[in-house]
Amino acid sequence: MNENENQDNITIITGDPKRAIRKLAYPMMVAIFLTMAYNLADGVWVAGLGTESLAALGFATPLFMIVVGLGTGLGAGANSLIARYIGANEKNKADNAAIHSILLTVVISIILMIVLCIFLKDLLLLMGAGTSIDLALEYGYIVFVGLFVFIFSNVGASVLRSEGDVNRAMYAMAITAVINIIMDPIFIYTLKMGMAGAAWATILSALISCIVIAYWLFIEKSTYLSFNKKDFKYSGKIIKDLLNVGLPASADTLIMSILSMILNLILAIVSGNYGVAIFTAGWRVLLMVLIPQLGLGTAVLTVVGANFGAKKYDKMDEAFKYSIKLGLIFSIIISIFIFIFADQIALIFAYGDANTDLMSGIVDFLRIMSIYFITIPFGIIPTSTFQGLGKGPSSLIIILLRSLIFISLFSYIFAIPLNMGIFGVWYGLNVGGVVGVIFSYGWVKLHLNNYIKLYK
């Protein structure tokens, strides 16, 4: 990429907010879709090894997702801080922040690798791995020894996005997804490596992506940002700013995992495995609904951060409102589609005479949750806006209230004290979601309006 193209990217993220959101969001949607596809492919190929192997993957996955979530969070911190420096036209500080983010990635990866490898067996047993412990360890040790590649690929892609180079960030994520999908059956079945093969396919696909990103950043040096030794000056403030956004953003994955466990517990009380099975299937549909919203969230983080640094507060508000509008259009279309084709979607998860009851339950879940799907942009985009402003604790509060406290509270009240059973959980999800997004949207709008008053 030449200097003119780099400058064009910088001009875009501080220029017309609507154009910037579109340019950044759509490639991210493609990348997120491919990432979810390769996660699904992992499960499909491992399932062919048998129930024990699939269970082993299930026990290792939450720990793996925490690692991925940490990489995503550090990436969000780097994206926000670098974009703010770029917007403020402080390239030296942007370069220094980019170098700090890479060095922080190395340090955290080493510490986390040592901790996980030492305590992996104990953690898996605590999670109930039981008879599948050996297979889970076979997969886990390989993946967690190489966890640097997962964290670096997230942070490296975020560094590219921070300067508006969203296409190459998408290519890096796509490389990981496509190569992993190809490698999985070869390593697992052709080379007869079983669970170890699944782990090596995951590691190598991410490693190739890391090599490509490292080439762009450090060898070809085709980015707006520079990674020269002379540009590095240690700054505790930069570390603090990176973690101020990165750690709360990392907590999002953990909070969603806790929410799933709480809802599973409530469902187990009121409906046993039947309710848990319906929720498990429906939650996978929710993940697909999230794709456009996550793409928009990543875009608004970069655009808000750059314009905050440039003190163009009116453009921050315009980017926020436009992202909400686009997100609402996507969510309404998707919700209508899911409501109409709920029966056909349910067939993916429940087929055959033995699953008749399960299928009707999934259909009910999808149709009731159509309301919740519409609220999603009002939750994700405010969170990303706070991250773009560098207000990590505020984004964490939104995530805690919206995704954990409100939903858990209303689901419990409707399902157990009000004795509404499984439907109480679905209604609780909707009511908790609506209350949460009203709070999120109102809080962010208040902040943006205050900045606009300051600007005027």
Percent of the chain with pLDDT over 70: 93
Which pLDDT does position 51 carry in this prediction? 66
Contact 68, 147 (CB under 8 A): no
Per-domain boundaries in the chain = 3-234, 285-455
Contact 98, 225 (CB under 8 A): yes
Mean pLDDT on 121-144: 86
pLDDT greater than 60 at residue 355: no
DSSP 8-state code for residue 192: -
| Cβ atoms within 10 Å of 361's Cβ, excluding its own | 24
pLDDT greater than 60 at residue 424: yes
CA atoms of 374 and 343, how far apart (whole Å): 20
pLDDT greater than 80 at residue 73: yes
Of 198, 217, 206, residue with least CA distance to 148 = 206
Mean pLDDT on 284-298: 82
When comparing pLDDT for 251 and 389, which is higher? 389
| Cβ atoms within 10 Å of 337's Cβ, excluding its own | 14
Mean pLDDT on 237-258: 84
Mean pLDDT on 90-113: 93
Contact 223, 157 (CB under 8 A): no
Instruction: For residue range 29-62, list pLDDT tens digits in order.
Output: 887 787 777 666 776 678 678 767 877 887 787 7
Which pLDDT does position 56 carry in this prediction? 80
Which pLDDT does position 319 carry in this prediction? 92
CA atoms of 92 and 100, how far apart (whole Å): 12
| Cβ atoms within 10 Å of 11's Cβ, excluding its own | 12
CA atoms of 47 and 235, how far apart (whole Å): 47
Of 78, 95, 89, residue with least CA distance to 162 = 78
Mean pLDDT on 133-142: 91
DSSP 8-state code for residue 217: I
pLDDT greater than 80 at residue 421: yes
Contact 202, 45 (CB under 8 A): no
What residue has token string 């409707």? 414
Instruction: For residue range 322-351, list pLDDT tens digits in order.
Output: 999 999 999 999 999 999 998 888 877 665
- Highest mean pLDDT range out of 71-80, 107-116, 128-137? 107-116
Which pLDDT does position 100 carry in this prediction? 95
pLDDT greater than 60 at residue 354: no
∠ CA(190), CA(196), CA(197), 5° rounding?
30
| Cβ atoms within 10 Å of 279's Cβ, excluding its own | 24
Helix (H) or strand (E) holding 116: helix 91-126
Which pLDDT does position 456 carry in this prediction? 56
- Beta-carbon-side half-sphere exposure of residue 412 (alpha carbons within 13 Å): 10
Contact 55, 194 (CB under 8 A): no
Percent of the chain with pLDDT over 90: 35
When comparing pLDDT for 257 and 234, which is higher? 234
Which pLDDT does position 415 carry in this prediction? 94
pLDDT greater than 70 at residue 2: no
| Phi-psi category of residue 228: left, alpha or beta, with phi > 0 → left and psi -120 to 50 → alpha | beta
Instruction: For residue range 297-330, list pLDDT tens digits in order.
Output: 888 998 998 888 888 888 988 999 999 999 999 9
Sign of CA dihedral 126, 127, 132, 136: negative
- Highest mean pLDDT range out of 85-89, 166-170, 350-354, 355-359? 85-89
Whole-number average pLDDT of the chain: 85
Instruction: For residue range 370-379, list pLDDT tens digits in order.
Output: 888 898 899 8
| Cα 208 from chain centre | 21
Which pLDDT does position 4 carry in this prediction? 53
CA atoms of 217 and 282, how far apart (whole Å): 40
End-to-end CA distance of the chain: 38
Query: Helix (H, G, I), strand (E, B), or coil: what is residue 232?
Result: coil
Contact 318, 18 (CB under 8 A): yes
∠ CA(70), CA(71), CA(76), 5° rounding?
95
Contact 137, 191 (CB under 8 A): no
Of 130, 81, 137, 127, residue with least CA distance to 104 = 81
User: Quick one: how many helices (H) and strands (E) in the chain?
Assistant: 18, 0
Which pLDDT does position 49 carry in this prediction? 81
What residue has token string 């949750």? 369
Residues in Cβ contact with 329 at an 8 Å cutoff, skipping those fewer than 6 apart: none
Least confident of 20-29, 43-52, 81-90, 415-424: 43-52
With 0-12 / 13-18 / 19 or more C-beta atoms within 10 angstroms meaning exposed / middle / buried, residue 142 is: middle
What residue has token string 């299930």? 58
pLDDT greater than 80 at residue 437: yes
